[in-house]
Amino acid sequence: MRWAGMLPGEMEPIAGIRVVAPGFPCRRRAVGRVPQPCIVHHLVEPGDLSSGRSARRNARRLGRPVGEGVLRSEYDGWIISRTHGVVRYPGEATFSMAIRDDSEMVGRIRTTIQG
């Protein structure tokens, strides 16, 4: 609010908020869907840059690993947020991720004017 003149004094840098600048346009994607009911332990934090090959979370069902025990995303990007809680149902996403968006930002729209 100091930059707007609403508070007296000089502006102070905002610390404690991670700024992510991957260098490419991004879009949000709910990823990390689990194949069966399980308990999830996240291995990444919001703001972490991550490749599709790196582990995102451990998944266990009745104490036994689900699949290879580590779930991975099929995308590269950065973690926006993790889902709340540890219990996941089949097909449920485990976090939101910003992934590369190479699509057109503005598309053509064809309209017909009725007269």
What pLDDT digit, counting tens, does each position of 16-75 carry? 877 777 778 889 998 888 888 888 888 888 888 777 665 555 666 666 777 777 777 788
Rounded to whole angstroms, the Cα distance separating 96 from 4 reads: 33
In-domain check, residue 6? no
pTM more than 0.85:
no
Q: List the one residue out of 26, 67, 64 whose CA is nearest residue 56.
A: 67
- pLDDT of amino acid 114: 66
Q: List the one residue out of 32, 48, 52 whose CA is nearest residue 95.
A: 32
In-domain check, residue 115? no
The CATH number of residue 84's host domain is 2.40.50.100
Where is average pLDDT lowest: 8-12, 18-22, 32-36, 111-115? 111-115
In-domain check, residue 13? no
Structural domain total, the chain: 1
In-domain check, residue 14? no
In-domain check, residue 49? yes
In-domain check, residue 4? no
Q: List the one residue out of 97, 89, 90 whose CA is nearest residue 72.
A: 97
